[in-house]
Amino acid sequence: MRDISYAGKRVVLTGGFSGIGAALIEVLRELGADDITVLDLKEPTARIERFITTDMGNPVSIDAAASTIGDGVDVLFNNAGIAATRPAEQVMRVNILGLKRLTERLLPGMKAGGAIVNTASTAGNQWPGNLEVIRKLLAIQGWDEGVAWIHDQMPVIADGYFFSKQCVQVYTMMLSRPAIRQGVRVNSICPSPVDTPLLPDFRATMTDKIIDWAIAEGAGRVATPRDQAKALAFLGSDLASYVNGVNLLVDGGFTAAMTTGQVDMSALAG
Ligand SMILES: NC(=O)c1ccc[n+]([C@@H]2O[C@H](COP(=O)([O-])OP(=O)(O)OC[C@H]3O[C@@H](n4cnc5c(N)ncnc54)[C@H](O)[C@@H]3O)[C@@H](O)[C@H]2O)c1
């Protein structure tokens, strides 16, 4: 079946050095990808066609990468992200301001039939409670204005991680409408805990108890980077040709169990 093939597609991926991004490179290769550009602080060891050293928290670095890439991208995977072991402003810069800036730089030149897939998180599932404030941030155009707004909103933003992932989920839905007018779909995956180099950071900020509980109450095993990469590859491919504006839960059923009252909350007590 040709719809899953990445042969001849120009793919751009942020955060391809480790974890989900590194697994995605492997999966895309298996699906025939022959033109992968990675933007990251660190160069992946996997074979890729192009590496551009990029700090996704720095607008100058992002703009330079975008102009090197130019027009004609088929699929953009916005995957780079950091945990709240880093300062909240930095988390917001990398996880949402940088993701949005790169997207805005590349989208106008993307090919019809293309796709953008963001790596969000189940940590962003509580976005409905913050929708109005998130819309305000997403409406800000300038980088410095965005950073200033973040400083003004610290009580809502808190440690930055949950709020930044709420913003990614809302941005995915908001962008899906204008983007489809040029034939580009926009979706995200929302992973629960994944066994990557970032997981110890989440254990440090959210506690072992909460992470182990979320794993036990989901599929009963931690997600592998490849579990997530396969979902990313699906959303970026023509298999998902009519899927647009969806935040796809890739959480082993954790959110479904939570929503239907089947999760054992007593394990969190004490
Ligand atoms: N691991 C989990 O439990 C989990 C759960 C939900 C969502 N996520 C999300 O998955 C995505 C990938 O994370 P991961 O778990 O694979 O962790 P990871 O640390 O292995 O991967 C993150 C990648 O982003 C790169 N990166 C970090 N800061 C960067 C910057 N400033 N500029 C450019 N690149 C940068 C890293 O070098 C790395 O390649 C992140 O957006 C993360 O928030 C992870």
Give pLDDT, residue 269: 81
Give pLDDT, residue 268: 85
In a domain, 22, yes or no: yes
pLDDT per position as a tens digit, 136-150: 999 999 999 999 999
Cα 15 to ligand 1 centroid, rounded to whole Å:
6
Catalytic (active site) residue 161: yes
In a domain, 269, yes or no: no
Reduce the DSSP state of residue 33 to 3 states and report it. Answer: coil
Cα 96 to ligand 1 centroid, rounded to whole Å:
13
* CATH number of the structural domain spanning residue 100: 3.40.50.720
Nearest to 110 by CA among 186, 6, 205: 186
Range of the domain at 205: 2-259
pLDDT at 15 over 90: yes
In a domain, 148, yes or no: yes
The number of beta carbons lying within 10 Å of the beta carbon of residue 129 is: 10
Size of the chain in residues? 270
Ligand 1 neighbours (beta carbon < 6 A): 14-21, 40-42, 54-57, 79-82, 94, 119, 121, 191, 193-194, 196-199, 202
The DSSP output letter for 266 is G
- pTM, two decimals, is 0.98
pLDDT per position as a tens digit, 44-101: 999 999 999 999 999 999 999 999 999 999 999 999 999 999 999 999 999 999 999 9
Cα 184 to ligand 1 centroid, rounded to whole Å:
24
In a domain, 267, yes or no: no
Are 49 and 35 contacting, i.e. CB atoms less than 8 angstroms apart?
A: yes
In a domain, 264, yes or no: no
In a domain, 173, yes or no: yes
Reduce the DSSP state of residue 153 to 3 states and report it. Answer: coil
In a domain, 95, yes or no: yes
In a domain, 268, yes or no: no
Count of domains observed in the chain: 1
pLDDT per position as a tens digit, 191-213: 999 999 999 999 999 999 999 99
